[in-house]
A and B are shown apart, each in its own frame.
Chain A
């Protein structure tokens, strides 16, 4: 029955490619839909928030925490409004996660605060008795990697046209020589966060011009809403 096709290997290959490409198309085309564009008011992450996001990925928070609220009443009651795809427009990669050992964090910025995160990351059971989350004390001593965060922001601006430096959007600059300015900006942002924190070592570090990981992570957590 397929004798004719089997005798023409090139044509057969093209046919196979078309059939498989169709499946790919079904997956790719929706990404260009209006619903996948950034939602109104969505801003790209600041350099400090990207540094926090990198800490989040480095310490594998996404292994236990999801960032996707499904449209079920039981979920929206606990975590807030359900997620829509346009909210992840600036997430590279997205951190939906696949498993909830801990609660969802997609809107954690709406109902947890800087001082709460500070207590919680230092010793989770001090605020959530029975929590099995380990403490992340090292984040209070280690400094966040601002260079990499800056490089990521600059890259996505140049490669993916992420609207940095547009009116009302975070600043990152146009070349790597703008790093010092971006770092200053990040320090200003960090100071606003440490004003709500109690740990004196962290406050001192920021005053010295360093940014501990915990400050970057809290900036990222507070941006999630």
Chain B
């Protein structure tokens, strides 16, 4: 490695970690309230496309971000209706939602490309970067701290966590579980979509079918690795981002350990953490549909 490799490496790490951070925070938020957020991958994919389309059709990165958030809110509401209001199995719903989202985004991408060829080209670099740090990176770090403060230091945060531990007890304490969980999942999905926008607007600057390539699942891994604590989850994202940056570096160098072994790290590490921690710290009521008795 040449001189001065550290700064570019850290930057590459943070760049790869940023989309993951938003998504991991969204998983932490939803699952602390008791809803498994497997659909993070699908929402992220939709957010990635929406962000790019926003930039292409309205010509402004921030409009792209807003559009992506809007799409995230709508999809979150849809997921909330199915998994919280009805309520159906959260895992099945999340998984088939991901398949569905893959189909719809690929379809809309083609459709948009027919209307405007610029959809398939690179979009401009996002303005507002400071020292190579994009606004997304800063926002991700700020949101992490905010989320931690909100979850563990405020009343509403406590109420959300209580829903994740025991929905019926939370109901007895006067919380409207269905409405609150729906709101939380909707907000969480908006965050997942923001993660997608961070991928397309803030990093790759283009869209291809299935561009997220399982990053939503890596974020899921990070949230579990971080034991549903925003600070630890973000730390896990940065670690995983470093793994990805190392893999790129190994690929570019063409020598040394096969980069695919680096890419296994997030998953194996998560398994290790799960093995050591077991059920510890997991929201006890997560994944159980809440039906009023």
A binds B: no
Residues of A within 8 A of B (CB): none
